[in-house]
Amino acid sequence: LEEQLRQSQKMEAIGHLAGGIAHDFNNILTVIVGYGNFLDLDGSLNALQHEQVGQIIAAAERGSQLTRGLLTFSRKQVMNPRTQDLNALVGQVQKFLLRIIGEDVDLQFTPAPEPLHVLADGSQLEQVLVNLSTNARDAMPDGGTLTIETCWQQVDEAYARSQGYGAPGRYACIIVSDSGSGMDRATRDRIFEPFFSTKEVGKGTGLGMSIVYGIVKQHKGFINVYSEPGEGTTFKVYLPEASSGAGADASDPDRAAPVPG
């Protein structure tokens, strides 16, 4: 638990730093794109210059996309939350996930038997599932199994404290597991850091998991990773129950009782 709290404080500090840099950097890139477009509009450029200005604009726009990813990690995005059933949401993106993981990877979805109502931004949760599935696929180059499971989970005071934020109560969980390469401890400790990647240059930006972390935190949820080299990886995402206001009243027996399944 100590370790988790230290991890969460580290992410907080990185978030501040990254947010500051991303903000300033984004302003710089906006100037480059703006003047680049302006130059091009003038109509006085020859074909080669037109092509070169185009390259400058394209590179600056790519930089902008990266900094926007950083901002998603460090800062609150506009959320469009609505009460929805997590099982239904996973069901809706399933087709898309199948496309991501390709034919060599099997997808097994085991929904909880009852609906899991959470107050959430659907497109942000989709992004979480897409990023987790993309990494799972990359960890299983020779194929394997991706399993997605949903369930209720009771979070107690000690656990919430260990995360450095959040409240005890009932949480809906999505558990995403792959049978891929797994990770050693040094990798596991750094996966949520922006720009941390073990993939070849050009294959990974190192932003996927930091975006996942930012989205989960913005939903007042938690994320845990369990992974060993050669033994696959499991991510467990907790999202507060819709009616609990992320701080379920522990004296309410209906809410305090863990629900089996």
Total interface residues for ligand ADP by CB under 6 A: 22
- Show the beta-strand stretches assigned E in the chain: 82-85, 105-110, 117-120, 144-155, 169-178, 222-227, 233-240
Query: Given the complex with ligand ADP, which of 233 and 244 has the nearer CB atom?
Result: 233
Do residues 90 and 174 make contact, with C-beta atoms less than 8 angstroms apart?
yes
Query: Given the complex with ligand ADP, which of 14 and 248 has the nearer CB atom?
Result: 14
Query: Given the complex with ligand ADP, which of 102 and 113 has the nearer CB atom?
Result: 102
DSSP 8-state symbol, 249: -
Max CA-CA distance within the chain? Answer: 75
Nearest CA to 116 among 244, 233, 216, 213?
A: 244
- Among residue numbers 227 through 256, which ones bind ligand ADP (CB under 6 A)? 233
Query: Given the complex with ligand ADP, which of 35 and 196 has the nearer CB atom?
Result: 196
Per-position DSSP letters for 23-91, written without gaps between them: HHHHHHHHHHHHHHHHHHHTS---HHHHHHHHHHHHHHHHHHHHHHHHHHHHSPPPP--EEEEHHHHHH
Q: Which stretch in 47-55, 71-79, 132-140, 214-222 sits in contact with ligand ADP by CB under 6 A?
A: 132-140
The pattern of x and - marking residues 178 through 217 that bind ligand ADP according to CB under 6 A reads x-xx-x---x---x----xxxx----xxxxxxx-------
- Among residue numbers 13 through 52, which ones bind ligand ADP (CB under 6 A)? none
Q: Closest distance between ligand ADP and the C-beta of residue 137, in Å?
A: 9
Residue ranges in contact with ligand ADP by CB under 6 A:
131, 135-136, 139, 178, 180-181, 183, 187, 191, 196-199, 204-210, 233
